[in-house]
A and B are shown apart, each in its own frame.
Chain A
Amino acid sequence: MASDTTIMPDDRWRYWVARGDYRQQMTAELASGWMIDGNQYTMRRFFAAAVAAGCEVEYLPVLGIADLELADDAVISSGALGRYPQLAPKAILPRESPLMTFSEGVVAGELGVAETGSVLVVENELSDRLVSMMSEHLTVLLAADVIEDRLDAATAWLSAARPVPTYVVLLTGPSRTADIERSLTIGVQGPSTTRVIIVEEEP
């Protein structure tokens, strides 16, 4: 165990993440056992869990459309558009054809769960589901202030929602299978990469 690792407070750590150096720092911190300290590091637990589930995780203090480096034909869910109007010039809503395959899609989460690295996404309409199902590369936008420590937060969210939305998914990493000789293969029916972008600003 690297006992000399400094465990930085969340705000300084956000700076590191914003600079893109979080992996090294996080690996060192993980090795030093900071997770044991419980939930005062919720956001970092989220990072660790999401990375373990195969996500790319990024942090943006402010969401600018350029930061996303989206392809021109990227499709964007109505949920993402509703929450982040700055995506509007980019917005291409998918046509409802299941044969469509999109190179890139963007959805927005209602809740992040640090325990599992999952993002809770509501997808009532078929067009919204197509974005997260049919995109080769998926970007999930998640506001920093809705990241909670435990799955119980998802329970509370579901219990409080009345009526319960038609379709809620806890999304964790890219689509995967191990059905052929238990060999882990990423990208079966769903996306082959999943990138979670934590956005600090209030939209």
Chain B
Amino acid sequence: MTTGSRATEDQRRQERLSAVLLDFQQAWRTDRGDRIAQLDDVGGFETLRNGLATAKRESRAHWDDQIAAFTAHAQEAGARVVLVDSADAANRYIIDLCHEKRAELVVKGKSMATEEILLNDALLEAGITPLETDLGEWLVQLAGDRPSHLVMPAIHMRRQEVAALLERVLERSFDPDDIPTMVRAARTELREDFARASVGMTGANILVAESGTVVIVCNEGNNRMSVALPDTHIVVAGIEKMVGTFAEAMNIIRLLPRSATGQVITTYTNFITGPRPGQEQHIVLIDNGRTEMNRRPEYADALSCIRCGACANVCPSFQVVGGHRFGHIYTGPIGLVVTPFHHGLEAAAAPQELCVSCGACTAVCPAEIPLAQQILQLRSDVREQLPGGVLRRLLLRSFGRRWLFAAALKVGAVLTRPFRRGPILRVPITTKWTSWRSPPSLPMLPARHRLRTRKASDQHLPTVGILLQCVSDRVAPDIAVAAVKLIEAAGYNVEIPESQHCCGLPAYDGGEWDIARKMARDTLRTFERFETIVTPAPSCVVAMAHEYENLFRDDPKWLRVAQEVGPKVRDLVSFLAAQTEKVPFSVNPLPEPVTVHRFCQSGNVLGHTNEQERLLSAAGIQVVNQAEPDVCCGFGGSTSATSPGVSEAIAARKLKSLEAAGVSTVVTDNPGCVLHLQGVFDAAGAEMKVFHPAEILEQRLSDR
């Protein structure tokens, strides 16, 4: 095969996979949503997940004690428990045991922990055959492949591939459309192996310290056989699976299947306390970097993970590339975070670039893990500890200087003037950044200059300091100008401090935290004196009210300032939505409806719901829903710079969702997303106009 045709074949595979994952994500979202809603009967999702996080944190605070209690109780029940600190030590123990039992075949239930320590490879080297018995894992193993999802290991395989694979292995033909027959074949095939194996191995979903119980959930029944049939049962589990009590375990059981497969409960929830009569049970508890992770407060919460895979199921980048690229052995957002501790920082370096920082993972995680923040922390670690990125640093550093940025944009505006077509720049060169997203045109005058000439407002009115935001000040000034007019119309005196530039979010998202800190300090200094700070960009609110605390974690002086200023910052939309009655909107309804896109972090981080919709309807504008309102537009984080192809695919998904609304105007609350979507629609030749709510609402002021 030539390289060319291989490239297209890979591309085709990739596209098919994205399509499968898209279907899956959409179906899962509905199922999970329904099942999570049922939890209102028992306290509600937020309470339950907080309970889970608290129990796990509590467990980690007394890890040694809990491990000791678990060990004592399990041994009382007849099990043997060992605690090992590395993958090697775990593998050695298991191999020795298998040799002692003269085991040639080990039947395995699904276990990520054994994947983590690369146990199968080690067993094979020692002349022992590990056999995966979970259907998906079995298929992946037969194909010589790797699992691509925490819960759905073979989601990347098509039924045709499965049929061909089984045909090769079982030497009879299979109809790809007859899935039950293929499943049946696996059953028949594996039964004999179950009967033959002298060692069975499983993971654990939960370890209960109060009783020494191992909890395993499964749907197929293969885990039960691996536990029960062989004369030796080995459990391999990370120490983070520990909880204190059955009540805490049951809380996890309420959350895990709902988050994993959208089921109320799995077919089997097994509570195993010691071996059955006539059996030996060994429980191998592995540390392998976990204690180290627990010492790092910025990452420790990732140890609460229950491996449900929900974070991957809402991740827009994961949908595009799949688990083989998005992760190392542990896939999905959580995979990015834990990989450095189990498999080294280098292993996480490439996949972490794919995170768009939309925060969907954090919002959906049943263990309340701040994944999006942890991934940015990881990005910063990568930047600090691994070489490279000179150009990026240079660019961000120059961007950090207000005068330089202003001058560069000025020059850019003059040079690109001939190519301006409304809000879009029609440059004659195409790059991988612009082929799918036309760049915005650059204005001759930034918003701050245009706003100098407006008439002074009444000094007795309450004062608001406005953070124009770098983008809407210098690239999309109509937004900033409209924002100021709206705030004034609502009865405020607006001040525009001249020393403002950018909150530092681009550098923060890019992992260059030193540069981000400098920009953050400048921004805090500028706005410290205001009681209320409003910005048309919710992304800046995310930065100032949430991320600054993270940036200044080790700097008490600036941490204090950040904590003082953070709560005073509001985004324009929620600021106005809370007082629509004060804004003098025209009473004539606008005939043309719009559809709304909510900036992903507005929902996922700031907890906004229908603020834009409320505000727009207060101004007489009708809103039509889009299909996937909660999915990121693809602009997020630094991904559209570092992995434009991924960003492009996410944007295409968004485009479809927005077009399906059947209207020609999109309103979205973050200026960056406005420019991004404008460019995407333009490059796709779609007749869609994109506005920030401020631009539309300003047109609706009655006294314009």
Contacts and interface: CB of A to CB of B under 8 A. Distances in A.
A182 B190 contact: no
A151 B250 contact: yes
B680 to A, nearest CB: 29
Contact of B153 (A164, A174, A179): A179
Contacts of B279: 126
Interface stretch (B179-187, B316-324, B350-358, B438-446): B179-187
A170 interface: yes
Interface in B259-294: 261, 264-279
B229 interface: yes
Contacts of A176: 219-220, 267
A126 B222 CA distance: 15
A183 interface: yes
Interface in B192-237: 192, 194-195, 210-211, 213, 219-222, 224-225, 227-229
Interface in A144-193: 150-152, 154-155, 158-159, 163-183, 185, 187-191
Nearest to B217: A170
A54 to B, nearest CB: 8
Contacts of A98: 191, 194-195, 225, 229
B303 to A, nearest CB: 23
A189 B264 contact: no
Given A49-B264, A115-B42, A151-B254, A177 B219 contact: yes
A182 B152 contact: yes
Contact of B187 (A115, A130, A165, A189): A189
Interface residues of B, number: 69
A42 interface: no
A133 B264 CA distance: 21
A139 interface: no
B39 to A, nearest CB: 10
A160 to B, nearest CB: 10
Contacts of A168: 270-271, 273
Given A179-B139, A185-B180, A167 B271 contact: yes
Interface in A113-135: 115-118, 124-126, 129-130, 133
A70 interface: no
A177 B183 contact: yes
Contacts of A174: 267
A181 B20 contact: yes
**Is chain A's binding surface mostly helix, strand, loop or mixed?**
loop
Contacts of A181: 20, 157-159, 162, 179
Given A98-B194, A101-B191, A182-B155, A167 B276 contact: yes
Interface in A38-97: 49, 52-53, 97
Contact of A167 (B159, B187, B270): B270
A166 to B, nearest CB: 5
A1 interface: no
Contacts of B24: 182
Contacts of A164: 77, 211, 213, 271, 273
A188 B135 contact: yes
Interface of A: 49, 52-53, 97-99, 101, 115-118, 124-126, 129-130, 133, 150-152, 154-155, 158-159, 163-183, 185, 187-191
4 nearest A-B residue pairs (beta carbon): A190-B221, A179-B136, A189-B221, A188-B220
